[in-house]
Amino acid sequence: MKKLLLTVSLLLFCGLLQAQQPQHTEYVFLITWDGMRWQEVFTGADPQLIAHPDYVSDTAQLKELFWRNTPEERRKTLLPFFWEVIARKGQLYGNRQEGSLVNVTNVHWFSYPGYNEILSGYGDERIDSNEKKLNPNQTVLEFVNNQPAFKGKVAAFGSWDVFPYIIHEERSGIPVNAGYDTATDTRLTDMEKALNTLQPLLPGHWSSVRMDAFTHYYAWEYLKKKTPSLIYIAYGETDDFAHDGSYEQYMKSAYRTDQFIQELWNWVQSQKKYKDKTTFIITTDHGRGTEPLDTWRSHGDEVKGADEIWMAVIGPDTPTMQAVSTQGQYYQNQVAATIAAFLGLEYRPEHETGAVLKQAFK
Ligand SMILES: [Zn+2]
């Protein structure tokens, strides 16, 4: 009996040690990539689309850039940072061909419902349009910003001009630079001045979504100056190029976004403050169709497969996907609680949320 007690208490003690293992993450980058399909993330260029005359004007060039003989080579060519760095040092979720499934839980399968689900942790049926309506739900960004230790240390940058409403900029107190916003700080860097000059001079390709390069460099300048604890960067081009029906622009934009994320990661790992203390969580608001073929351009609840998404995690507390399997079923509503958990917080909003992504922690 004594032996048994000793064993039990030893086990309890070890359990306690495990639960209290210190986390290294102090900073979180949430990055979204509007309407990027899991099909391209995990298999690269689509053989049915890359030479399709309706969707590609210069097939020779696009093939030279992104066509390779195997899906493994194609994905690495399209997204080198994902496949050479995240796949080796972090985790990718959503490879449906290998039994890793990620779905949205909202019933609408388009942007605002998806961003609300990512940010609030709740697939809210009431969020049923992309209109500029203030989000009734508190987001995890607002929750974190309301914690004394994180007050004023949260910021958001987006290409789409609806983000100030999704994040409820006024109520949350989180600065949101989105759409065609410029940098308005009292002390502007040379880069911010250049971006502010150029952005209104370039022909706007879409009225409500700017080119991602502006979002990216505005965010980066802010990072250098203010070093926030939690930053949200929302790239938007891929979705709009897909709606335009341009597979070549969709692919080229996907490649650039991977490079942007790599640039941020390399910078983070070169900064004493952020190095080995920063976790990136990367995901998308919705999927797109595959069958019939032209549904790749679109999404929404009538498009088969538009609820299928993917996620990526890399950081000092996340085991590699070689060490911990990412097979199983996961949901978009798990992102918010997971962000809070990386910051050592328990996200408890008024509504129900998805569970913390346990596999993403050592
Ligand atoms: Zn869309």
**What is the amino acid identity at position 30?**
L
DSSP per-residue codes, 245-294: T-HHHHHHHHHHHHHHHHHHHHHHHH-TTTTTSEEEEEE-S-----SSGG
Ligand 1 ion: residues within 5 Å (CB): 239
Q: With cut-offs at 50, 70 and 90, classify the pLDDT of residue 351.
A: confident
**Ligand 1 centre distance from Cα of residue 209 (Å):** 11
- 296 and 334 Cβ atoms separated by less than 8 Å: no
Residue 347, both tokens:
């996200």
Phi-psi region of 181 (alpha: psi -120 to 50; beta: other; left: phi over 0): beta
**Ligand 1 centre distance from Cα of residue 59 (Å):** 24
| Residue 264: C-alpha distances to residues 27, 141, 186, 268 (Å) | 13, 20, 24, 6
**Ligand 1 centre distance from Cα of residue 207 (Å):** 14
203-226, pLDDT tens digit by residue? 989 999 999 999 999 999 999 999
60-101, pLDDT tens digit by residue? 999 999 999 999 999 999 999 999 999 999 999 999 999 999
Residue 273 or residue 352, greater confidence? 273
Residue 284 in this model has a pLDDT that exceeds 80? yes
Residue 238 in this model has a pLDDT that exceeds 90? yes
Exposed / middle / buried, residue 188 (Cβ in 10 Å: 0-12, 13-18, 19+): middle
- 3-state SS of the chain: helix, strand, coil percent to 5? 45, 15, 45
Nearest to 110 by CA among 239, 283, 277, 266: 239
Q: How many CB atoms lie within 10 A of CB 24?
A: 15
**What is the amino acid identity at position 249?**
Q
Structural domain tally of the chain? 1
Domain span at 126: 2-360
Report how far residue 351's alpha carbon sits from residue 362's, in angstroms, rounded to the nearest whole number. Answer: 28
**Ligand 1 centre distance from Cα of residue 254 (Å):** 15
Q: Residue 21's pLDDT is what?
A: 58
**Ligand 1 centre distance from Cα of residue 104 (Å):** 15
**Ligand 1 centre distance from Cα of residue 239 (Å):** 5
DSSP per-residue codes, 133-186: ---SSPPHHHHHHTSGGGTT-EEEEESBTTHHHHTTHHHH---EEETT-----S
- Sign, CA dihedral 324-260-229-164, equals negative
Report how far residue 219's alpha carbon sits from residue 236's, in angstroms, rounded to the nearest whole number. Answer: 14
Please report, for the domain that includes residue 17, its CATH number: 3.40.720.10
**Ligand 1 centre distance from Cα of residue 36 (Å):** 10
Report how far residue 350's alpha carbon sits from residue 343's, in angstroms, rounded to the nearest whole number. Answer: 20
H or E segment at 33?
strand 27-33
**Ligand 1 centre distance from Cα of residue 268 (Å):** 30
Report how far residue 327's alpha carbon sits from residue 183's, in angstroms, rounded to the nearest whole number. Answer: 42
Phi, psi of 314 (to 5 degrees): -145, 140
87-137, pLDDT tens digit by residue? 999 999 999 999 999 999 999 999 999 999 999 999 999 999 999 999 999
Report how far residue 228's alpha carbon sits from residue 219's, in angstroms, rounded to the nearest whole number. Answer: 11
**Ligand 1 centre distance from Cα of residue 233 (Å):** 17
175-206, pLDDT tens digit by residue? 999 999 999 988 999 999 999 999 999 998 99
Q: Residue 122's pLDDT is what?
A: 95
Q: With cut-offs at 50, 70 and 90, classify the pLDDT of residue 242.
A: very high
The neighbouring-strand residues paired with 29 are: 231, 280
Residue 297, both tokens:
């351009």
CA 211 to chain centre: 17
Report how far residue 152's alpha carbon sits from residue 30's, in angstroms, rounded to the nearest whole number. Answer: 17
**Ligand 1 centre distance from Cα of residue 170 (Å):** 26
Q: Of how many residues is the chain composed?
A: 362
Exposed / middle / buried, residue 324 (Cβ in 10 Å: 0-12, 13-18, 19+): middle
What average pLDDT does the chain have?
94
Cβ-Cβ contacts under 8 Å for 13 (sequence gap 6 or more): none
Report how far residue 312's alpha carbon sits from residue 320's, in angstroms, rounded to the nearest whole number. Answer: 11
Residue 98 or residue 21, greater confidence? 98
